[in-house]
Amino acid sequence: MKERLLGRWMKERRDVTSEIASSSSSSLPKWEWVYDVFLSFRGEDTGNNFTDHLYEALHKKGIRTFPFRDDESLERGNTISTELLNAIEKSKVAIIVLSRNYASSSWCLDQLVKIVECKEEIVDCEGETRQTILPIFYGVDPSDVRNQRGSFAEAFAKHEELIKNEERLRSWRAALTQVANLSGWDTRNRKESTIVKEIARKLIRDLHYSHSGVHEDLVGIQSRVEEMEKLCLSMGLNDVQFIGIWGMSGIGKTTIAQVLYDRIRYHFASGSFLANAREKSGNGGLVTLQKQLLFDVLFEKNIDIWDVQRGINLISNRLCHKKVLIILDDVDQPEQLKALVGKRSWFGEGSVIIIITRDPSLLIRHEVAEQNIYKAKELDNDEALKLFSLKAFKQVNPLEGYEVLSKEFVYYAQGLPLALKVLGAFMFHRGPKAWESVLGRLRESPERKILDVLQISFDGLKISEQKIFLDIACFFKGMTRYRVANILQTPHYKPYIDIDVLVEKSFITILGVEVLWMHDLLQELGKEIVRHESLEELGRRRRLWVKEDVLHILKNNTGTEKVEGIFMNTPSKEEDLNVEEKVEDLNAETFSKMRNLRLLKIGNVRLPQGLTFLSNDLRLMNWLGYPLKSMPRNFSPDKLVELIMPHSCIKQLWEGDWSLKWLRIIDLSDSRKLIMTLNFARVPNLEKLILKGCTKLSKIDSSLGDLKHLILLDLTNCKNLSSLPGAICSLTSLKTLTLSGCLKLDNMPMNLGNLEGLEELDVSGTAIREPPSSILCLKNLKKLSFQGCNGPSSKSWSRKKLLDFLLMRKTPDLMGLVLPSVSGLCSLTRLNIRNCNLQAIPSDIGCLSSLEELDLSGNNFVCLPESINQLSNLREFWVENCKSLQLLPEFRLSPSIWVTANGCISLEFVLPVKMKDSSSNYLHLLNCFQFVENQGHCDLFTTMLREYLQELHYQESTKKGRFDVVIPGSEVPNWFRHQSMGASINLEVPSNFFKQFRGIVVCAVFGPHQHHPHNPHHDMVLACYFIANGKDYISGGPCISFLKEFETVELDHRWFMYLLPDYFRNEYFRKADGSSFQLEIVFESWDLEIKKCGAHMIYEEAMEDLKQSMGQSECSSSIIPYNEGVDHFEEDIKSKRSHDDENGASGEGSSTHIPHPKTRRV
């Protein structure tokens, strides 16, 4: 039963009927989008602020937005231009910024009508609406828009005077009403920057923008993708399909998959495109790929995977309920398949797994059915000529006089898209004589391999372009353009132009965040060119990258002055350095002949005789586990750009007065013998200094202040570092300062506030007890962590210092972090003060208007300041294991919040989190048994639900969101109409239910699993899903998880969940609305036992009866009258807070005793 249910649990289920599946896609129009987003707005209201910021955010994310101009610059008279009409029709999403004066523009209203028409008329090949409308209510009440009140009423009054066309006015009103009924964003009481970020994130997710750049010049792709699409979507809807694509390199396998992914992704709940599996799977890369897969599908950061088997367990347990589309690109080893897509049972019904490889035997061994294997085809002659012409002539046909020549080039390209693009780009702007010359070379050997064809284009590059192409092919593929350009540039050479030329000529591409990439076939061309420099003598090749070749020349000292670059794959984990058989011994003269060495990446070698020479031409030195205490005496690398030596034995870098003005990065991570830093005045342009894990380092040179370009300083786990130089406050460019784990560091420079550009500060796990007040001047600080800063141990204090502290604080158990005022940190989005032995929270914490995440767990305060209610952008709030906390406040202004208070054993009262439309709210009270004794078993959730339903009665709801409460208890409340023992429940859904439907409430009683004890290595997960008529999954998998760091569930708890109607947003409900059906609600957990469950569907006409039933349920509990008890309790809290204010900032010296509220039973 469990396996059957796990295999059928999915997040979202699109109802693709057999009628649609069998219909020919050619019978419906194919719609091509030109823009992703069309912005409709009133320029005078938002053109210079909100909409401008929104456009910039979308543009930076690569989202194609219709060219942003003030609406008045496009407005001509009272009609919309053809340009705008076409833009609206060709935009996949329309964002409408409904501001105060929007309706005063007839031109805006006509846009709105056109947008609504397009949403209704434009469908995809399955007849589904493809255009989306996202309204933004900018400073206006959605109900005013819906009912044309306020400024909208004033605007229509003027229109009615000027416009006598009743039909036009009616269409305007109808469009406004329709759009106002859609889910969107209300900017009132919310930070505009937060809304902009939310919109951008949603669009990136919904548009599946991971491969937006692959559709350029894709000749012949349509027919090939349609074949694959038919293969993927014509299978049984409930089957998990493994599909293979194979073919030779350069034939377009990956491109077909990328376009296919973009086209069919919306059929699935989640998707992941894992590119370049072969490249990434070495040196621990399989774990990285597993993390990427889980992040893509689950949208969860910081997933903890320490080995491949752990990743396999997580993938198989967490994805077995989801309908996913996964594409695994460039597979060449069975281990990659076993680690990422091992079995069909790992994935939910309807999932499609596509495997791309050059080796069809891998597909057969992985049990991919023969009919599911697609062989990528070469381009036919017409397609090939078109692609070649696009590159050679920038048009689809050859220029006059070049027709015969072009066809001959096409013949030699053998139908490979890559070869056609490279050859075509090479011949662009060349005359007939050049064409004949190149063809002459091709004719010399009619049986030329494709690499020989590509070499002709390589030979046409300039020397500097050839060199950088070979460097990228052998060393730099996958690095950013900025980093590569930094490494290679000299006073007389700037590589950016040559990189751009290589892009224009199709030798390399730029991916994502400026990452340099090239096709495998072109990379092989580059490596083959290097091999032919010297077929016999490895030491006479300019570039070496094969580990065996590198070790051969190093151990035999056969390197020569020809060698310019050595890259040897190195272990990714520290423990690999200690494996004896992997360590190689080299002699002292190893590098003595390689005087032109520019690039060196090496590791896992020993130098028992020392090292006499390193090239002064080195620009990159990456040596994992450098085995000596110092550098060679004559080593003065004045061209060095990056010095990366993690796990080295170095004690001190250099002595001398020479300057390293090109040096940008120093990384000496985990160099545990380092005792002294260099004179930083010698590296004036340093940008990153990474000294984490240098456990013997006790001080930093005061010349640190000379680093005016430093943006990153990482001193994590420098356990002997006891102080920072005051000069650190001169680092005006510094953005990230990490001091976590510096156990002896008990103070920070007083002028720390001078670091005006600082964005991240992490001092977690240090002995710092009282940060300087100047920290309030860090106006750009976004992330701040004091986790584990509970003061220095008494052993590290002098007798006088300890005596002074005891006289001041009275008792030593109050040694903890003392926070100053935090009101100046206006940009702070994340604050972590977990486990700091805090007795009180700063009273002005409510001034942190940008704060989104706040972690106060593991502290000793009894109450929270009233101002915490002012955190309007707060999304996540943790107070886990705050053993003295007695009251949780109400977060009135937060539109959506996750509150975690597990293990608060003294918690007696929780003010209800207000349930709102268009939001999701979570309240977890695991193991808070005192609260239940005092406040009642279900009173909290029932109160919140009643209040929300009361509001629904008086106003329309946008019907979107979810609300969760986890609370101790072992019974389903009496007012739940449907109840059942076990983990599932069935109920009958009546016909025509959706019009009156106001959501569904579910409850699951769960506890420790008697037969499957909790595994402390992974989180506990509890999930819920819905099945209609025993087979159709109408909505998928809301779930909750409890972090592995938290103690095991002790006794029974209940999970209450209220899902608003829009949660069931797929087609099933709409299509089933005319008839009744059976609904099964199923709960699942690997670690927890589900004992009972209940459900209650809420309808408009029955809401009054439901509220009355809930009220009777509340009154029947032996609890304190909720409001009265809390009133008394809050009076005590306010009295306590007043007493705290008299004792100083942050409530220092506050009492830990608060009187219990008055109790009486009813």
pLDDT digits (tens, 9 = 90+) for 614-647: 999 999 999 999 999 999 888 888 999 999 999 9
Q: What's the CATH number of domain 31-207, 3.20.20.120, 3.40.50.720, 3.40.50.10140, 3.30.565.10? A: 3.40.50.10140
Residue 37's contacts (CB-CB under 8 Å, 6 or more residues apart) are 58, 63, 64, 65, 66, 91, 92, 93, 94, 95, 203
Which tokens sit at 36?
A: 């992703």
Name which CATH class applies to 8-13+211-375. alpha beta
Q: How far apart are CA 408 and CA 390, in angstroms?
A: 16
Question: What confidence category does residue 33 fall into, taking pLDDT thresholds of 50, 70 and 90?
Answer: low
Question: What confidence category does residue 121 fall into, taking pLDDT thresholds of 50, 70 and 90?
Answer: low
pLDDT of 217 reads 58
Give how far Cα 7 sits from Cα of 36, 346, 983, 1022, 1084, Å.
35, 8, 16, 15, 11
* Pair 242, 366: CB distance under 8 Å: yes
As to burial, measured by CB atoms within 10 angstroms (0-12 exposed, 13-18 middle, 19+ buried), residue 347 is buried
Assign 3-class secondary structure to 973-1013.
CCCCCEEEECCEEEEEECCCCCCCEEEEEEEEEEEECCCCC
Which tokens sit at 34?
A: 């030109």
Average pLDDT over residues 461-486: 94
Q: Name the E strands within 58-168.
A: 91-98, 132-137
CATH superfamily of 687-837: Ribonuclease Inhibitor (3.80.10.10)
Q: How far apart are CA 1133 and CA 395, in angstroms?
A: 77
For residue 1109, report the phi and psi dihedrals to the nearest 5 degrees: -65, -40
Which tokens sit at 88?
A: 């609206």
List the CATH code of the domain at 463-531: 1.10.10
Q: How far apart are CA 599 and CA 622, in angstroms?
A: 8
Report how far Cα 452 is from the mean position of its chain's Cα atoms.
42
pLDDT tens figures, 830-861: 999 999 998 888 888 988 988 989 999 999 99
* Pair 776, 825: CB distance under 8 Å: yes
* Pair 9, 1025: CB distance under 8 Å: yes
Q: How far apart are CA 1123 and CA 340, in angstroms?
A: 53
Cβ-based neighbour number of residue 37 at 10 Å:
22
Which of 330-334, 666-670, 832-836, 1022-1026 bottoms out in mean pLDDT, i.e. has the lowest?
A: 1022-1026
- Start-to-end Cα distance in the chain: 45
* Pair 1147, 841: CB distance under 8 Å: yes
Residue 168's contacts (CB-CB under 8 Å, 6 or more residues apart) are none
Question: What confidence category does residue 941 fall into, taking pLDDT thresholds of 50, 70 and 90?
Answer: confident
Q: How far apart are CA 1070 and CA 257, in angstroms?
A: 33
Which tokens sit at 342?
A: 């091992």
Give the DSSP letter of residue 775: G
* Pair 1053, 1085: CB distance under 8 Å: no
Given a cut of 50, is residue 96 above it in pLDDT?
Answer: yes
Please count the helices (runs of H) and the strands (runs of E) in the chain: 34, 41
Q: What is the pTM of this model?
A: 0.70
pLDDT tens figures, 517-555: 888 888 988 999 999 999 889 999 999 999 899 999 999
Question: What confidence category does residue 1 fall into, taking pLDDT thresholds of 50, 70 and 90?
Answer: very low
* Pair 274, 356: CB distance under 8 Å: no
Percent of the chain scoring above 70 in pLDDT = 77
* Pair 150, 158: CB distance under 8 Å: no
The helix (run of H) or strand (run of E) holding residue 1040 is strand 1039-1042
Length of the chain: 1162
Q: What is the dihedral of CA 406, 408, 411, 416, to 10 degrees?
A: -30
Q: How far apart are CA 343 and CA 337, in angstroms?
A: 9
Question: What confidence category does residue 946 fall into, taking pLDDT thresholds of 50, 70 and 90?
Answer: confident
pLDDT tens figures, 356-405: 998 888 898 888 888 888 888 888 888 888 888 888 888 888 888 888 88
* Pair 109, 103: CB distance under 8 Å: yes
